[in-house]
Chains A and B, each alone.
Chain A
Amino acid sequence: MPTVTMTVNERQVSGEVEGRTLLVQFLREHLNLTGTHVGCDTSQCGACVVHLNGDSVKSCTILAVQANGGKVTTIEGLASGDALHPMQEAFHEHHGLQCGFCTPGMVMSAVDLLSKNAKPSEKEIREWLEGNICRCTGYHNIVNAISHAAQQGDAA
């Protein structure tokens, strides 16, 4: 079985995986980073979004071996110590989450949006979230949270 090595949340990790092992399986099952979720099997729901080399990716659509040598950030790596990342703070402040299952993917996706477009319009936020499904919030407060985070700055 191939061995993969990568940096996850600023920690060097490695493990033996099958060729078919997905990045999300490697994160959840090998590293016990269960904050990244699996909500579908067709790469649509976005619950599994993480950052790979600075870009948001669906970790259910990438093989662990494809991430070999890469730099991965998961929801567990976003806060610094006890201080929440400004995007996490904005989701809390504006009630951008209910059941919490889509939340890690939403937050990771939103952080990447602001890194690429610091001041998105409401329409741009809604279009960016096309790959993240939430069944609880009706998106209203998620969009609100991301708008506010953008206005505050430093949430990219």
Chain B
Amino acid sequence: MPDGSVGQAVKRREDRRFLTGKGRYVDDIHRPGELTAVFVRSPHAHATVKSVHIDAAMASPGVIDVFVGADMEQDSIGSLPCGWTVTDRHGEPHKSPPHFPLVRDKARYVGDHIAVVLAETLEQARDGAELVEVDYDELPANVEIVKAVGGPPLHEEAPDNLCYDWVLGDEAAVDEAFAKAHHITKLDLVNNRLIPNPMEPRAAIAEYDGGLDSYTLWSTSQNPHLLRLILSAFVTGIPETKLRIIAPDIGGGFGSKIYCYAEETVCLWASKRVGRPVRWTSDRSESFLADAHGRDHVTHVELAMNETGEFIGLKVATRANMGAYLSSFASSIPTYFYATLLAGQYRTPAIFCNVKAVFTNTAPVDAYRGAGRSEATYPLERIVEVAARELGMDPAEIRRKNFIRPDQFPYNTPVALTYDIGNYEASLDEAMRMINYRGFSGRKAESQARGKLRGIGFSAYIEACGIAPSSVVGSLGAGVGMWETAQVRFNATGTVSVLTGSHAHGQGHETTFSQIVSDTLGVPMENVEIVHGDTGQIPMAMGTYGSRSLAVGGSAIMRACGKIIDKGKKIAAHLLEASVEDIEFKDGNFTVAGTDRSKSMAEVAFTAYVPHNYPEDLEPGLDETAFYDPLNFTYPAGTHICEVEIDPETGVTEILDWVAVDDFGKVINPLIVEGQVHGGVAQGVGQAMLEHGIYDSGSGQLLTGSYMDYCMPRADDLPSFKVGMIETACAHNPLGVKGCGEVGAIAAPPALINAITDALGIMHLEMPATPEKVWRLAQTAAAE
């Protein structure tokens, strides 16, 4: 029997190399003759670059070359594109100003790329970079969303700094609902800017082979094929056949390693220009300045209800910060990954959303774990909570009353999605049971007796992931398809290489995918090797983002396994002198139905490669490739409830309990899935209580540019989590899976803010709920 049983908490196969220091990350790799690149970055938020003087740097020991934007222009290196065109409310495409890897005219945010210094060592490159003199003409800058329109213009192409003004939903229907509403709840809120901070900083090594006229780029990428496509088709013109991208072990991504960045593009181009490999590793300060940031919305939301507390209309107006340039998928996040989720788990019949996306003198903003869906869940689960308080309803009951019921699936929302399946009441009930909701009032009284403020907060979220059907995203403006690929390659000895387009950077694919293959093909797990992260080995692929690896990448693997079994049946039928229709495949054996005559998968694989006795009309070999394009998004959903206790004397909020009950469909490996929930919740807690990327409104400097200033969640900021699950299998993929990577970051922020405001007896406070903010509110509450 295979040892990798689906549904079992199989320990991770990849652990050993990481635990013994043998993981291989980009910065661990060295190439003979390599130079180190250091970037000269703008210290100004907005400035014309009048001239760059490189003579002193060129004369510095060890410096080999210094390049500026004009050098790349000379070689026709293009702009870093945004791969999703959003059509605005007037039918016009969004404003898409150029984003050159090294600036050509002016710097538009602190950290923008002015020049690159290449030297024999990192120290020499740093010393050289200090000697590059840049003549700036400072310009007025703006870092604030609300002041962007009409503020100092960043781009000629968008004189009012508006990237797009976009709408979704039926405005007239919403107006009608509001006109007859019994009660309307209104709320203004900010979704704070986050800086992703995977623990491994970005890095790149580029090497040009003059003999083959080809390049290899080692990059900290979540999606090396997508990066190759962007670099080949839009930026450098290097044919895909001449560009190999390797993404080895990657130390976390959370979205920030999806994109095509300036630094790796410069290294790639410079490696040919100087004829030597070029390496670059970001230090943490650069990562704060120049990784794509996340979130950063200002939103006004209104919810209309009838006499019984049923939701009859929802109106949302959001301003979203794009930063100084459009990152690779920036335009799609506050639109198609945001407004489409505003129905949440509820039957609200009429929804209208308007999003204005603006340019500011800040780092580009793009997808970060939970992208768009987290931004949607926050206003929705906050306004539902405030509505319950205004109407005097129990927060669980107002949700229950409005849930889409299990018999209503498939359910078409008024914001363009069709939910395939779910059971929202089941997860709510289980979460309430796990946290002992009935006992809360007693616990609150007990806290009160000790002078503490106790609160409870709900978050009933939904997300759309497993992105996504190519035809759907194409019709919405995506520049790429969103299928995934898998190649299942048997070797003659019966071992299997599985080449997948889904890159792993912490998610444990090597284990989960092995479990699937092992169970499906009846091959022991130790005979299965998962290969990912190399465009030189793996067929064209789309990569890892939007919790798609299992739902889309795993489904591609299943499809390739199906092809292997189909071909194996033909080989076995020949060997067993039976007809193909009579062959059954189970537990790794091809058996003639109703007999004990069988051939093992290993025997069939050997025969496929040593085809001495073989069907005449069949090709040798047992190596199948499949592409899987999903039929729909998947819709993980659930309820998180947390309980907090606030010390009004210090403003410190302690999270006493956290219950997460999620519906991920079928679970392949509960150990790994629970780990994904823990990590996602921690990031959501970080957003709600600790993290905030802040730019100084006067100077445009990033004030939170290091771990001294940007508060990452530490072990003592977090509780242990209680994870429960319910299961409604996804109705449209072969594994019945939905995806689990992002839900924690989606569910957690409103749960926490609901709990903290409950404890304080107030309607709202802005994230992050720092002790100072909480202390001030607690003092005000005490004074009243």
Quick check: which of B334-342, B390-398, B677-685, B762-770 contacts chain A, the rest being far away?
B677-685
* Given A39-B200, A126-B716, A140-B720; A95-B707 close (CB under 8 Å): no
Quick check: which of B16-24, B235-243, B448-456 contacts chain A, the rest being far away?
B16-24
Query: Contact between A140 and B678 (Cβ–Cβ < 8 Å)?
Result: yes
Query: Contact between B201 and A92 (Cβ–Cβ < 8 Å)?
Result: no
Q: Given contacts A95-B675, A138-B744, could you give 6 more A-B pairs where the C-beta distance is less than 8 Å?
A: A37-B200, A42-B707, A92-B16, A99-B200, A135-B712, A144-B720
Quick check: which of A51-59, A63-71, A100-108, A148-156 contacts chain B, the rest being far away?
A100-108
* Given A20-B123, A133-B707; A100-B251 close (CB under 8 Å): yes
Which residues on the B side are within 8 Å of A99 (C-beta)?
18, 198-200, 249-252, 505-506
A98 to B511 Cα, complex, angstroms: 12
Residues of B whose CB lies within 8 Å of any CB of A are 11-12, 14-25, 27-28, 123, 197-201, 249-252, 254, 283-285, 505-508, 671-672, 674-675, 678-683, 706-708, 712-716, 718, 720-721, 744
* Given A37-B200, A47-B199, A100-B18; A139-B675 close (CB under 8 Å): no
Query: Contact between B675 and A98 (Cβ–Cβ < 8 Å)?
Result: yes
Residue in A36, A92, A136 whose CB lies within 8 Å of B252: A136
The CB with the most chain A CB atoms within 10 A, among B15, B254, B506, B671, is that of: B15
Q: Which residue of B lies closest to A76 (CB)?
A: B21
Q: Which residue of B lies closest to A99 (CB)?
A: B506
Query: Contact between A35 and B22 (Cβ–Cβ < 8 Å)?
Result: yes
* Given A39-B199, A41-B285, A92-B11; A125-B715 close (CB under 8 Å): yes
A44 within 8 A of B: yes
Which residues on the A side are within 8 Å of B251 (C-beta)?
37, 39, 99-102
Which residues on the A side are within 8 Å of B744 (C-beta)?
138
Contact with B along A110-128 (1 / 0, CB 8 A): 0000000000001101110
Which residues on the A side are within 8 Å of B506 (C-beta)?
98-100, 136
Query: Contact between A39 and B20 (Cβ–Cβ < 8 Å)?
Result: no
Query: Contact between A92 and B198 (Cβ–Cβ < 8 Å)?
Result: no
A91 to B744 Cα, complex, angstroms: 22
Query: Contact between B199 and A135 (Cβ–Cβ < 8 Å)?
Result: yes
A41 to B19 Cα, complex, angstroms: 23
List 20 A–B pairs whose Cβ atoms lie within 8 Å, in order of A's numbering.
A34-B24, A37-B251, A39-B251, A40-B284, A41-B285, A45-B707, A75-B21, A91-B15, A92-B11, A92-B15, A92-B16, A97-B18, A99-B249, A99-B252, A100-B249, A101-B251, A126-B716, A133-B199, A135-B712, A141-B678
Query: Contact between A98 and B682 (Cβ–Cβ < 8 Å)?
Result: no
- Top 5 A-B pairs ranked by shortest CB distance? A35-B21, A100-B18, A101-B251, A138-B682, A99-B506
Residue in B17, B671, B715 whose CB lies within 8 Å of A95: B671
A137 within 8 A of B: yes
Query: Contact between A92 and B714 (Cβ–Cβ < 8 Å)?
Result: no
CB distance from B124 to the nearest CB of A (A): 11
CB distance from B513 to the nearest CB of A (A): 16
Q: Which residue of B lies closest to A129 (CB)?
A: B715
Q: Which residue of B lies closest to A102 (CB)?
A: B199
Residue in B19, B200, B284 whose CB lies within 8 Å of A107: B19
Query: Contact between A135 and B197 (Cβ–Cβ < 8 Å)?
Result: yes
Query: Contact between B678 and A93 (Cβ–Cβ < 8 Å)?
Result: no
Which residues on the B side are within 8 Å of A88 (C-beta)?
19-20
Which residues on the B side are within 8 Å of A95 (C-beta)?
11-12, 671-672, 674-675
A104 to B20 Cα, complex, angstroms: 8
Residue in A44, A84, A102 whose CB lies within 8 Å of B20: A84
A16 within 8 A of B: no
A8 within 8 A of B: no
Q: Which residue of A lies closest to B705 (CB)?
A: A42
Which residues on the A side are within 8 Å of B508 (C-beta)?
98
The B contact surface, by secondary structure, is loop
A4 within 8 A of B: no
Which residues on the B side are within 8 Å of A138 (C-beta)?
678-683, 713, 718, 721, 744
Query: Contact between A103 and B679 (Cβ–Cβ < 8 Å)?
Result: no
Residue in B11, B28, B683, B707 whose CB lies within 8 Å of A93: B11
Q: Which residue of B lies closest to A88 (CB)?
A: B19
A122 to B506 Cα, complex, angstroms: 25
A134 within 8 A of B: yes
Query: Contact between A133 and B712 (Cβ–Cβ < 8 Å)?
Result: yes
Query: Contact between B708 and A44 (Cβ–Cβ < 8 Å)?
Result: yes
A6 within 8 A of B: no
CB distance from B686 to the nearest CB of A (A): 9
The CB with the most chain A CB atoms within 10 A, among B16, B250, B679, B682, is that of: B679
* Given A93-B11, A130-B714, A138-B678; A98-B720 close (CB under 8 Å): no
Query: Contact between A42 and B708 (Cβ–Cβ < 8 Å)?
Result: yes
Q: Which residue of B lies closest to A20 (CB)?
A: B123
A89 to B506 Cα, complex, angstroms: 18
Name the interface residues of A5-57: CB closer than 8 Å to any CB of B.
18, 20, 28, 33-42, 44-45, 47
A84 to B712 Cα, complex, angstroms: 30
Query: Contact between A130 and B715 (Cβ–Cβ < 8 Å)?
Result: yes
Query: Contact between A41 and B715 (Cβ–Cβ < 8 Å)?
Result: no
A75 to B22 Cα, complex, angstroms: 9
A51 to B159 Cα, complex, angstroms: 57
A129 to B706 Cα, complex, angstroms: 19
A62 within 8 A of B: no
A72 within 8 A of B: no
Which residues on the A side are within 8 Å of B123 (C-beta)?
18, 20
Q: Which residue of B lies closest to A79 (CB)?
A: B20
* Given A84-B20, A100-B506, A136-B252; A122-B200 close (CB under 8 Å): no
CB distance from A61 to the nearest CB of B (A): 13
Residue in B22, B706, B713, B716 whose CB lies within 8 Å of A40: B706
Which residues on the A side are within 8 Å of B708 (C-beta)?
42, 44
Query: Contact between B714 and A103 (Cβ–Cβ < 8 Å)?
Result: no
Q: Which residue of B lies closest to A141 (CB)?
A: B675
Which residues on the A side are within 8 Å of B14 (C-beta)?
100
Which residues on the B side are within 8 Å of A137 (C-beta)?
675, 678-679, 682
A41 to B122 Cα, complex, angstroms: 15
Which residues on the A side are within 8 Å of B715 (C-beta)?
125-127, 129-130, 132, 134, 139, 142-143
